[in-house]
Amino acid sequence: MFIRRVSSTDMELVLLISLFLLTANTFGDGTGSDVTRLIVKEDDDAILMCSFGPESIIDKMFDWKKQENKKKEVFFYQNGTHNNNGTSEFKGRVFHFEDQLVFGNASIVITKTQPGDSGNYTCDFPRDSPSRRAHIELTIQKILKDRTSEKIPGASPKPYVTIINENNDWALLECEVEGASPEPVVEWRDGAGNILPAEEPKVTKNKEKENSFNVILQIYVTKSDNYTCVSTQKKIDHQITNKIYVQLNRELPSGGMSTAAVATIVGLIVGLIGLVCGIVVARRRGKNNSGGRR
């Protein structure tokens, strides 16, 4: 009995292992008594390994199924033809290693794994005598990610972030999360991903959504950077973010001018132009008046 952890970056390594470690414990002895346990993180690719020896299986038939109350077709291969669509939940996500069939490798890969992919899988060679079968127990570990598209009740919506107040030296940022259940943990992070110390969050019950919460979190920042508000609900594996950029005037590049300085200069120029125009108009009126007296 083996426990393996596989990520999408390990695919080639695992494939090589499947070609050389052709042991009874890893791939089964055809009796159906051995199980390979595989643990994969959600959204990674899972390689389900199946091989019983180095002989070519190009002209053979093998069938991958997910064992549930009703067996689900995952991948079927026969004499060079195959169907990698399976049921609707696997459509476009299951592939085999065509160039490895000559080595007896009937393994498949399930791409972009989902929590619902967890379960027991079998790889059968029903036409072999005796028939051979490999068992895989796949477990998908859920990760924290944006699950708003899954329409989970109470999942935090995208936080609203804004600058409440600022001057040349600091800015006061606010993050607001509305109608989240369970109550989310709200944090501010800098551009490097560091969690920043902030004021105590203001948490209130949402009046429109039962048993849900509104959270407001404010923070003072003293440098120009990208700042991200993160709302996390571990109980439902949901995490969603929103970002805001802060530019403090005191940190403008050398030789640059602050917005206030630019505004002052522009005001002086406009005033000077107005003064010159006034003088010119006054002189013209003076000449016209003197000409009339002649």
Binned average pLDDT, 10 residues per bin, the chain of 294 residues = 46 44 40 80 97 92 90 91 78 93 96 95 92 94 96 95 96 97 97 94 91 96 97 98 93 53 66 72 63 50
N-to-C CA span, the chain: 119
Clarify whether residues 131 and 156 are in a common domain. no
Quick check: 216 and 200 in contact, CB under 8 A? no
pLDDT score, position 122? 96
Which structural domain, as residue segments, surrounds residue 223?
A: 148-251
The answer as to whether 275 is a domain residue is no
pLDDT score, position 12? 52
pLDDT score, position 44? 97
Clarify whether residues 128 and 22 are in a common domain. yes
Say whether pTM exceeds 0.85: no
Q: Quick one: which of 153, 111, 104 has its CA closest to 132?
A: 104
What's the structural domain count of the chain? Answer: 2
Clarify whether residues 152 and 137 are in a common domain. no
